[in-house]
Structure 1
Amino acid sequence: MATVTPASTGYRAVFRIREFRPVFAAHLLSVLGVVVAEISLTVLVYRVTGSPLMSALTFALGFLPYALGGTLLAGVADRHPARRVLVGCDLVCAACAAAMALPGTPVALLLVLRCATAFVAPLFQGARAASLADILGTGDAFVLGRSLLRMVAQSSQLIGFGLGGLLLTVLAPRGAIALTAAGFLGSALLLGLGTRARPARGGSHESPLGGLRAVLGDRRIRVLTLLFWLPPVFVVVPEALLAPYAAGLGAGTGVLGLLMCALPVGTIAGELWAGSALTARTRSRITGPLVAAGLLPLLLYAARPGVPLALTALLLAGLAHAYTLGLDQWYLDAVPEELRGRAMTLLGTGLMTLQGVGMALAGLAAEFLPVHQVVTGSGILGTAVVLLLLVELRACARAAERERPRSETGLAAK
């Protein structure tokens, strides 16, 4: 198992681990491929049908299959070798993208293929997250590796749609989707040749609900999972309502684009700072305070701020996301190795699904209340939820402390 010595910490040290480099490159290819495919498929469906509804449906269609795939396939991540699962998922996505690119593929089949790629996506992400612990070890290198992959995903929001739009100026939508298929094949090749074959963790053949109970049945894992899932539900509210908020301020599309970049830019900057400038111990110590304060910048919306203050609020909320690095280590320490694949798959599934729910609820609330009040309310409610979770986490720690002397006394008696 790869490890990083204390003397060689930081992001550069993670790249010195040979197996991580192809994993990172494969992630870059697949993330950009997904973004390009999404915009290209949306344009393609609109050109074929002329329907804005069908175009929007194509873009949004990934949420339900993603949630189902993550729930139903979570156990696969532990029952089969990680490299086989990862390469298999990439090949499925490559085949779906290649079928989308074929001339004459009907719209109904395009939507089915879109659902199929979304269905296997959480399994791929969970298996890769679990395999990072095998490649990088279970210490600081794992946390920094996860952070790098997250930053690539965040950057795709800033770069991927621009790249997709640029590609569509020189290629037909089907041609851009064909490049996506090539990207998935490249990812499969990198993972197949660049990573070592390792045995499966030996997860049981239990039902999907049994797998869910195995992960969330543990009190500490459950609380940590909710700390991953719930803050993003509230932090996406201002993002979901940026268009009507900017319109209410009389701002143009350029200002809207700037506001849309603020949260991902803040998130990337926060992770870079925490990963580069702080030790693992310091990151762990600030995790609680950061997650508790992370939604407080949204309270600035109470004053119905103009563009500069709204931009500041979004940047600060993004910077606070640095708590995720400490939370990653806590989660890895809490989850038994034999559950790691299932836990990581369900973690990503819930995160993605609940963000979609948060956006939908934000839109619903904004039908009845002014946007700035909805955002302010999300900051207040979200902070209260996070504080309750932190209280429960502390109670878990106290219970574990009480149990430890008993177990040690029992061992001594034996």
Structure 2
Amino acid sequence: MPGPTATPGYRAVFAVREFRTVFVAHLLSLLGVVVSEIALTVLVYDLTGSPLLSSLTFALGFLPYLLGGTLLAGVADRYPARRVLVVCDLVCAGCVALMVAPVTPVAGLLVLRCAVAAVAPVFNGTRMATLADILGEGDLFVLGRSLLRIVSQSALLAGFGVGGVLLTVVPPRGAIAITAVTFLASALLLRFGTAHRPARAATAERQGLGGTWGVLRDRRIRALMLLFWIPPLFIVTPEALAAPYAREIGASTAALGLLMCAMPVGTIAGELFAGSALSARVRERIVVPLVAVGMLPFLLYAVEPGIALAAVALLLAGATGAYTLGLDAWFVAAVPEEQRGRAMTLMTAGMMTIQGVGMAGAGLAAEFLPVHVVVVGAGVLGTVCVLAVVAEVRATEVRDGADHHVTSG
């Protein structure tokens, strides 16, 4: 194993056969989600001609996260992880297959969309917890999480493009049918390419919401959860308002695409650099500085910048997302093993839900204020909120130092 100042690098993570299986399954499942979202949105619009229902189809990808992440979080620890992952993929494949049926009404399509979104946090949280079993709780786990985030950002960029091209060749139902195959392929990979492990907490409490909120009784875990949740609440603002901002400054549609891609590209670059060039100790030391300055680039919007300068601001903001590597190490060290699946499911559900809230809040604010003012306000308010959470994280580190110390991975 590498020393405390060394980093094994991403190559060492790919050297673990079981991780390679999880990685490919993740890619297939993610592409299935992205392409099915696009195809279903187009299908609903074709059937109804309603822009509201079409946009509602996309929004429903966020809303059930909260419900699924709270009510179903205990599933991640109560049953063997491989079984949970395979069943989630099969549920998604079944829902998508029903979407393909011509007899399925629009209301049924929306319900099926909610069902896919409801199981997503359970799948993601279970997979995150399983990574600690496959890679250990040290630096390999952090790098494995980083790789899955990188492929998620890349798949979002590529998936929308692939989905758009696919819809020029096949009808929406045909594209949805293809995604059913990707879910089934992911299920097969996970079933036969990963080891069986017993449930983390075979006698886990069956208390629904009570058991889920029980995770948050730990002050340290609660503070770290907030550090995962609060930045996305504000950082989605410029992306959510990219189209109105491009219109505000008279930019072209191509320029809008540049704005939409800038932050994900910065996030990928920041994670790749931190994961390959920095040691575990350094990654943990830069968590607070990076998260503290992450939204300050939004202040450039005060001068109503052109597309190039706005893209630079978003690129820089995205690059500071590298703080999540060190934060992952703190989180896995703070959560007891028997609660790991539940905690990670809740954390994932919260992140997705909070992004939906942030997008809605940004749109509401932009109804009354110029877009550039809203983005600047998000940068200022977001920084203040993050600093308050950082203070709480520091307080728990000092108070509970014997139990919740920050490790070097």
**Contact in 1 for aligned 2:7/2:276 (Cα 8 Å):** no
State the Cα deviation string for residues 199-232 of structure 1 (Å, max 9, x = none): 0011522323222332111111111000000011
Question: In the TM superposition, what is the alpha-carbon distance from 1:158 to its structure 2 partner?
Answer: 1.0
- The equivalent of 2:407 in structure 1 is none
Q: 1:378 and 1:8, CA in 2 relative to 1: closer, same or farther beyond 3 A?
A: closer
Question: In the TM superposition, what is the alpha-carbon distance from 1:108 to its structure 2 partner?
Answer: 1.6
Distance of 1:388 and 1:103 partners within structure 2:
52
Q: 1:310 and 1:398, CA in 2 relative to 1: closer, same or farther beyond 3 A?
A: same
Matched, 1:158 2:160: no
- Which TM-score applies when normalising by structure 2? 0.96
Question: In the TM superposition, what is the alpha-carbon distance from 1:253 to its structure 2 partner?
Answer: 0.4
- The equivalent of 1:10 in structure 2 is 9
Question: In the TM superposition, what is the alpha-carbon distance from 1:306 to its structure 2 partner?
Answer: 1.4
- The equivalent of 2:70 in structure 1 is 71
Q: 1:402 and 1:195, CA in 2 relative to 1: closer, same or farther beyond 3 A?
A: closer
Question: In the TM superposition, what is the alpha-carbon distance from 1:46 to its structure 2 partner?
Answer: 1.1
Q: 1:343 and 1:316, CA in 2 relative to 1: closer, same or farther beyond 3 A?
A: same
Distance of 1:397 and 1:104 partners within structure 2:
56
SS at match of 1:19: helix
State the Cα deviation string for residues 276-325 of structure 1 (Å, max 9, x = none): 11010110111111111111111111111111211111000000000000
**More displaced stretch, 199-208 vs 15-24:** 199-208
Q: Which runs of 5+ in 2 are unaligned?
A: 405-409
Distance of 1:111 and 1:402 partners within structure 2:
49
Distance of 1:221 and 1:205 partners within structure 2:
19
- The equivalent of 2:217 in structure 1 is 217
Distance of 2:101 and 2:51 partners within structure 1:
23
Give 1:128's aligned amino acid.
R
**Contact in 1 for aligned 2:45/2:54 (Cα 8 Å):** yes
Distance of 1:67 and 1:209 partners within structure 2:
11
SS at match of 1:254: helix
Distance of 1:194 and 1:375 partners within structure 2:
45
- The equivalent of 1:174 in structure 2 is 173
Q: 1:17 and 1:369, CA in 2 relative to 1: closer, same or farther beyond 3 A?
A: same
Give 2:256's aligned amino acid.
L
Distance of 1:273 and 1:264 partners within structure 2:
14
- The equivalent of 1:60 in structure 2 is 59
SS at match of 2:115: helix
Distance of 2:143 and 2:184 partners within structure 1:
26
- The equivalent of 1:409 in structure 2 is none
Distance of 1:129 and 1:395 partners within structure 2:
27
The equivalences for 1:1-400 within 5 A come to 5-6=2-3, 9-202=8-201, 204-400=204-400
Identity of matched residues, %: 69
Distance of 1:336 and 1:27 partners within structure 2:
25
Question: In the TM superposition, what is the alpha-carbon distance from 1:64 to its structure 2 partner?
Answer: 2.1
Q: 1:8 and 1:371, CA in 2 relative to 1: closer, same or farther beyond 3 A?
A: closer
Distance of 2:49 and 2:242 partners within structure 1:
26
Distance of 1:198 and 1:403 partners within structure 2:
27
Number of residue equivalences: 401
Distance of 2:12 and 2:66 partners within structure 1:
35
**Contact in 1 for aligned 2:35/2:162 (Cα 8 Å):** yes
Question: In the TM superposition, what is the alpha-carbon distance from 1:62 to its structure 2 partner?
Answer: 2.1
Question: In the TM superposition, what is the alpha-carbon distance from 1:368 to its structure 2 partner?
Answer: 0.9
Q: Which runs of 5+ in 1 are unaligned?
A: 405-414
Q: What is the CA RMSD across the aligned residues, in angstroms?
A: 1.4
Distance of 1:188 and 1:37 partners within structure 2:
17
- Which TM-score applies when normalising by structure 1? 0.94
Q: Which has the larger radius of gyration?
A: 1
